[in-house]
Every structure is written in structure tokens, then in C-alpha cells.
Amino acid sequence: MKTRKGNVDVESGVFFTVIGVIALLLSTRYPFGSAARMGPGFFPVILSVIMTGLGIAILISGLRTKKPVFPEAFDMKSLGAVTLSIVLFGVLLLRAGLLITVPLSVFVASFAQPRVNWRKTLVIALAITAFCWLVFIAGLGLRIPVLPRI
């Protein structure tokens, strides 16, 4: 495999800036509204402006760096773990419930790390599960099953 030399920050900054500008142009087709009465274009416009701003900041940061940065090799194990975690979440949420699906997704995603710290993964899984329950079930009142249906 041939290693490529280049500044990853410059490339990432250009990418985020271009995607942000394209999203901004596409989202201006919808009514914007106001902060008090948001239209369907409000959120996409705000997000695309933030993405464009972050892209410009990353680009400027990359241009200030004099030495080239070598990107790391592509890691299929990490990509597979994260992808499987997302698919499991989508497939299991309505069947297995929030209290089983969220920790399982966190544990599967933890295999993307080179070394898995099980204690830290357990704490993160419990914290994310509690946060999801508080926000989506208790706070927003969404009808997501907490436990599996028998």
C-alpha cells in the first residue's frame, strides 16, 4: 500500500466547508421562519452554517501547520464494529427495548478501540442508557419500549 503525504486538516477543512456550503444552498429552498416560530429551513440552515464555520476553522488550522501529516491506515475492524453497532440498534430497539439495546450497541461499538477497557465501557453504557431514558422517554415522552415485549 502506498503511503500518501499531505495535510489531513487542510483536506478535511475543504471537505467540511464544501459540504456545509452545499447544504446551505439546498436548505435555503425552505422557509426559514424566526427563532420564535421556526420554519422547516431553520435547523438545516443553522447546522450548515456551523459546519461551514468549523470547516473554515479546520482549514485555517491546517494551513498554519508546516509539516505534512501522514494519515493512519484504514481500519476495517473499527468500521465493522461501529457499523454493526448502528445496525443492531436499529433492528433491536423496538424488539428488545431501550435497556437492552443501548448497552449492547455500546459494547459492540467498543470493539472499535485497539484495547477494550470493560469497566469504562460498562460505565459509558450505563450513562448513555440513563441519558437516553431521561431525554427520550421521560423528557420527550416517546413511545420507545423500555424492556422487551414478551
pTM: 0.60
Run means of pLDDT, 10 residues per run, the chain, 150 residues: 63 92 92 83 91 94 75 79 95 94 96 90 96 92 87
Q: What's the pLDDT at 55?
A: 94
Which stretches of the chain are DSSP H helices?
Answer: 8-27, 42-64, 76-96, 98-109, 118-132
Q: What's the pLDDT at 46?
A: 92
Taking each helix axis as running N to C, give the angle between helix 76-96 and helix 98-109, from 0 to 180 degrees, rounded to the nearest 10. 180
Q: Report whether 97 contacts 145 (CB < 8 A).
A: yes
Q: What's the pLDDT at 53?
A: 96
Residue 63 makes CB contacts below 8 A (sequence gap 6+) with 7, 10
